[in-house]
Amino acid sequence: MDQVKAVVLRAAGINCDMETENALRLAGAQAQRLHINRLVENKNLLDGFHILVIPGGFSYGDDVAAGKILANQIKHHLYESIRKFIDDGKLVLGICNGFQVLVKAGLLPGNGSGNSQKDVTITNNDSGKFEDRWVYLQPQTGRCVFINKDQRIYLPIAHGEGKVVTDSVESLRQLQDGGFVAFKYVDKDGNEGPFPVNPNGSVCSIAGLTDTTGRVMGLMPHPERFVYHTQHPHWTRLPNAGQGDPDVSGTIFNNAVNYMKQNF
């Protein structure tokens, strides 16, 4: 494939679409932003893309619950189109509000996991307030094409409703045993812990989920906000500050683009 084409979904209240478009372009994709209304009007537009990203922000003001209104739009107007997109071997990524949307639309964990949006949801942080900090993430599965299994990464979070919960111990067991947990919150040494290591109280420190294919992923932290070494909060104190910090968050976007080049 000569050119991977990515689409970044837009809707009222989304405010990370431009940064996400930039991150995809840095990874080598031909990226553009597209309003959800255009996709609802012409569902065949998705056929022209290889990667769909639902970015962060506060879609529709999170007036009902974070991501719920946009999730309902997808469920009622675009669910079959996005399922076909996935079944065709393409990639879907949800970041922060986009992760909330994928879960509440039933696209994560989804696809035969035994879990649905009724079994897994994302709700208010245990702290009762908006959390804006940097966190370490440890990959939990080798199935997901977006991540490198053994590479711990450091990313910023910015959310008020990021707590992943399940309706039962059995649902949680299915997530863990089935390899649906993409990332966990950890400390710099890779250990799970209470707040602030786990910034929102997510069950078992879950920070991201994937599906059975490994080609759909959602995560609460923002990889699009760390694509230049100068965005690292301590970049001037890093050993190779003059050369730049390794582009660890960009790896998520790079992996997506490289996967499509090699497999589609």
Catalytic residues: 96, 222, 224
Beta strand 5-10 with 181-186 is unpaired
- Cα dihedral: 143, 144, 145, 149 (round 10): -80
C-alpha span between 52 and 6 (Å, rounded)? 6
